[in-house]
Amino acid sequence: MVCMRTITATEAARKFSDLLDAIESGERVTITRGRTPIALIGPAPRYTGADLRAALERAEPLDDEFESDVLKARAVMDDEVRNPWDDA
């Protein structure tokens, strides 16, 4: 069961660590500012190797020109490391 609660932005800031603990345990929290909801925070999705395998199986296969396209793109790239302050 997913619990849901509403807290103010001020309370969220003051109790941020507690807020993250609650979210990590599955709770969804609405944060308000002046009685207006401004954010809904919930647990991040967790992915496994099986999820990655399934996503790769759904992906379109690479075409025969892919390796050639990558090599052409790399040929026009400049790998030289420059000091960004030289142009300042």
User: Which pLDDT belongs to residue 58?
Assistant: 94
DSSP readout, 39-81? Answer: EEE-PPP---HHHHHHHHHHSPPPPTTHHHHHHHHHHT-----
| Tens-place pLDDT, residues 44-67 | 998 999 999 999 999 988 888 988
Query: Which CATH number among 3.30.930.10, 3.40.1620.10, 3.20.20.10, 2.60.120.650 corresponds to the domain 4-41?
Result: 3.40.1620.10
| pLDDT category of residue 82 using cuts at 50, 70 and 90 | confident
Q: What letter does residue 83 receive in the DSSP assignment?
A: -
Amino acid at position 9, single letter: A
- What is the percentage of the chain residues whose pLDDT exceeds 90? 60
How many angstroms separate the CA atoms of 25 and 27, rounded?
A: 6
How many angstroms separate the CA atoms of 37 and 11, rounded?
A: 14
pLDDT average, residue stretch 66-84: 84
Query: Which of 27-31, 42-46, 69-73, 77-81 shows the lowest per-residue confidence on average (mean pLDDT)?
Result: 77-81
Question: Where exactly are the structural domains of the chain?
Answer: 4-41
Instruction: Quote the pTM value.
Output: 0.55
